[in-house]
Amino acid sequence: MNTFFILVGRDLRLSVRHRADTVMVAGFFAITVILFPFGIGPEPGILERVGAGIIWVTALLASLLSLDHLFSDDEQDGALDLLLTSPAAPTLVVAAKIVAHWLTTGLPLTLLAPILGVTLQMPVGSAAPMMTALLIGTPTLSLIGAVGAALTLGARRRGILMPLVVLPLYIPILIFGVGAIDTTSMGFDAGGLFTVLGGFLLIAAALCPWAAAAALKIASE
């Protein structure tokens, strides 16, 4: 566990040095959400109805935007090879990078979402279920995204291939994440939907680090 926290701390320090990437992701999320009322119109009923979908789709795209540097920066300077050949298990290295990615991407998006929900005329009562859904769902996006980033590492058209690999796997998270917010906003119990989101997270946490580590081994060879 000490090794795991050291690796997470390393990636967090690197993200602080290159904080423009984190700011870019948060800025993309905020600006895109703010633009929707201008395109759709200021009608509160329409914005409230589509607000959860806008938040989730934009968060999904923002998370995807940040995946390009998950492994590529370390691969370019040779650090990835050193990490994979170190005494630490490759799955531990991948898991640490996924946690750092979520802390610098998924967590800021989750904290920004309720504030941006105000611009979409979403009810105040939807803030808590929105944050809960994003807290459960965004780690799954990072886990699945890590597999896509590892599979496309070194590919010539990585920017095109990665969305093709990752986006179909994101669809269930999107559906249940939006459904949980909408169901709660209508006054119904969304416990089942949150449970399904939690199930996706557990499955992804069990499988994705191993899949990404195997893909990185193949790419390094």
Domain boundary assignment for the chain: 2-220
Q: How remote is the C-alpha of 63 from its chain's centroid? A: 4
Geometric angle at alpha carbon 40, from 38 and 41, rounded to 5°: 65
Q: What is the pLDDT of residues 144-203, one digit of tens each?
A: 999 998 888 877 777 778 888 899 999 999 999 999 998 888 888 888 999 999 999 999
Contact by Cβ (8 Å): 106, 62: no
- Per-residue b or e along 85-117, where b marks 16 or more CB atoms closer than 10 Å to that residue's CB: eeeeebbbbbbbbbbbbbbbbbebbbebbbebb
- Kindly state the average pLDDT of the residues 124-140: 91
Taking the model in full, what pTM does it have? 0.90
pLDDT of residue 144: 94
Q: How far is CA 14 from CA 17, 31, 48, in A?
A: 5, 25, 38
* Spatial CA neighbour of 126 closest among 83, 219, 39, 190: 190
Reduce the DSSP state of residue 148 to 3 states and report it.
helix
Structure confidence at residue 221 (pLDDT): 64
pLDDT band at 1 (very low <50, low <70, confident <90, very high): low
User: What is the spatial distance between Cα 99 and Cα 138, in angstroms, rounded to a whole number?
Assistant: 11
- In angstroms, the CA 16 to CA 20 distance is 8
**Of 97, 90, 93, 52, residue with least CA distance to 70:** 97
42 CA to centre of own chain: 29
- Better pLDDT: 58 or 124: 58
Read off the pLDDT of residues 32-84 as tens digits, 9 standing for 90 and up.
999 988 888 777 678 878 888 999 999 999 988 888 778 877 777 777 778 87
The DSSP line for 24-79 is HHHHHHHHHHHHHHHHH-S-HHHHHHHHHHHHHHHHHHHHHHHGGGSSHHHHHTTH
CA dist., res. 66 & res. 105, Å (int): 7
Mean pLDDT of 20-35: 88
